[in-house]
Amino acid sequence: MSKILEVRQLVKEFSKGSKTIRAVDDVSFDVCSGECLGLVGESGSGKSTIAKMITALESPDAGGIFLDGKGITGLKGREQRAVYKDIQMVFQTPTDSFNPRLKLGDGIMEGMINHGISRPEARKKMLETLKICGLSQEYADRYPHQVSGGECQRASIARAIVVNPKLLICDEATSALDVTVQAQIVELMRQLKSENHMAYLMICHDLALVQQLCDRLLVMYQGKIVETGTPDEIIMHPREDYTKRLIDSVF
Taking the alpha carbons of 51, 57, 58, 60 in that order, is the dihedral positive or negative? positive
**Residue 220 CA to its chain's centroid (Å):** 16
Do 150 and 183 contact (CB within 8 A), yes or no?
A: no
In contact, 73 and 64? CB cutoff 8 Å: yes
Q: What pLDDT does 10 receive?
A: 97
pLDDT at residue 183, as a whole number? 80
pLDDT of residue 132: 84
| Per-residue pLDDT, 251 | 62
Given this model, what pLDDT does residue 38 score? 95
Query: Which residues of the chain, if any, have pLDDT below 50?
Result: none
Residues in the chain: 251
pLDDT of amino acid 39: 95
Total domain count, the chain: 1
CB-CB contact of 82 with 165 (8 Å): no
- pLDDT computed for residue 190 by the predictor: 82
Question: How high is the pLDDT of residue 94?
Answer: 80
E-state strands within the chain: 3-16, 19-32, 36-40, 62-67, 70-71, 87-90, 167-171, 199-204, 216-221, 224-229
Of the candidates 9, 4, 7, which has an alpha carbon nearest to the alpha carbon of residue 51? 7
CB of 158 within 8 A of CB of 129? Answer: yes
With pLDDT > 90 as the criterion, what percentage of the chain qualifies? 58
Helix (H, G, I), strand (E, B), or coil: what is residue 207? helix
Closest CA to 135 of 152, 123, 118: 152
The pLDDT of residue 93 is 83
Can you give the CATH number for the domain in which 200 is found? Answer: 3.40.50.300
Whole-angstrom distance, CA of residue 88 vs CA of residue 163: 9
Residue 106 is predicted with a pLDDT of 96
User: Which residues are CB-neighbours of 220 under 8 A, at least 6 positions away?
Assistant: 27, 39, 40, 41, 45, 46, 47, 226
CA distance between the termini of the chain: 32
- Name which of 195, 194, 209, 161 is nearest 39 in CA terms: 209
User: How many CA atoms are closer than 13 Å to the CA of 238, on its beta-carbon side?
Assistant: 15
Q: 72 in helix, strand or coil?
A: coil
Report yes or no: 201 and 170 within 8 Å, Cβ to Cβ: yes
Answer yes or no: are the C-beta atoms of 54 and 8 closer than 8 Å. no
d(CA 89, CA 83): 12
Domain span holding position 102: 3-250
